[in-house]
Structure 1
Amino acid sequence: MRFLSRRLVMPNDLNFAGSLFGGRILEWIDEEAYIFASCQLEAKSLVTKHIGAITFETSAFQGDVVEFGLQVKKAGRSSLTITCVVRNKHTKQNICVADDIVFVHIDPDTRQPTPHGKTEAELDDSNYEID
């Protein structure tokens, strides 16, 4: 798993206890996973269908840099399943793991699932690499 995207935890990302709000991290995971999936499939017409098990392991605090590791778990005919690990950039401790994030490729006009045309073998993490 490659960790390529990072975010700085800002004051407006915190909950009442002063740690990173769980809802904010889920928002970031959905956004980062969408970007990763759309780069893998070279398509924009994707929707989040499912986010499976989410495990919060440790907290993040204001000023922490968190990074997102993403990898393809499975490619279906019209879907792509991804795993995302969020960790503290400096300590390397996992903050959160979101498994089985499923995106479905849809026809932009009919909004119905449509084949994305990629096989698992064709997918490559370098499609997401930051230049």
Structure 2
Amino acid sequence: MKTFITHHLVKGNDLNHHGTLFAGRGAEWFVEAGFVAASNMTCPENTVCLNIHGMVFTRPVPKGTIVRYESKVTYVGRSSMVVYVKVVRADNEQFLLDGFMTFIHVDSEGHSTPHGLVITPSNDEEVELMEKAKNLVKKR
């Protein structure tokens, strides 16, 4: 499973009324990072976000922090792709949040269509992520 890395600098216009990263901005970046991983497996014009399964911040993120979003497709169905995203501080690897989201492969009319993808976990962590993702899809 290939990991895609994106970074963002938390600037003044990204802050909430407490002076830390606004959750909405963090969610925007979270979905963007997931989209990068999913669309690299197919193509951007055929990839849409269906569901954010969870995104839990573990601590506030102050202005000036560079955050690193690590995303990878962890499970694929007929037309779906479940992406895991983990977010850490770039300077010290401090864990900030993680979660999963489902993307759907669509045709030019916006209807789900098979993508033909197969992924294979290469280590125990990837096997565990695949099982978590598979269970999320079953709950839908």
TM-score interval (norm. to shorter): 0.7 to 0.9
1:34 to 1:3, Cα distance in 2 relative to 1, 3 A: closer
What are the equivalent positions in structure 2 for 1:74-113 lying under 5 Å apart? 74-99=75-100, 101-109=101-109, 111-113=110-112
The aligned residue for residue 118 of structure 1 is 117
How far 1:94 sits from its partner (Å)? 1.4
1:8-39 Cα offsets, whole Å, 9 max, x none, are: 10100000111000110001111111121101
What are the equivalent positions in structure 2 for 1:48-67 lying under 5 Å apart? 48-67=49-68
Paired residue type of 1:23: G
**2:103 aligned counterpart, secondary structure:** strand
The aligned residue for residue 23 of structure 1 is 24
Point out 4+ residue stretches in structure 1 off by more than 4 angstroms: none
Q: Which is richer in strand?
A: 1
1:118 to 1:3, Cα distance in 2 relative to 1, 3 A: closer
How far 1:68 sits from its partner (Å)? 0.5
Paired residue type of 2:58: E
TM-score (normalizing by structure 1): 0.84
TM-score (normalizing by structure 2): 0.79
Cα distance between partner residues in 2 of 1:3 and 1:67: 10
The total of aligned residue pairs comes to 119
Q: Which is richer in helix?
A: 2
Instruction: Structure 2: state its 5+ residue gaps.
Output: 121-140
Cα distance between partner residues in 2 of 1:120 and 1:3: 15
Q: Give the CA RMSD over aligned residues.
A: 1.5
For the 8 Å contact 1:87–1:96, the answer to whether it is kept is: yes
Residue identity over aligned pairs, in percent, reads 30
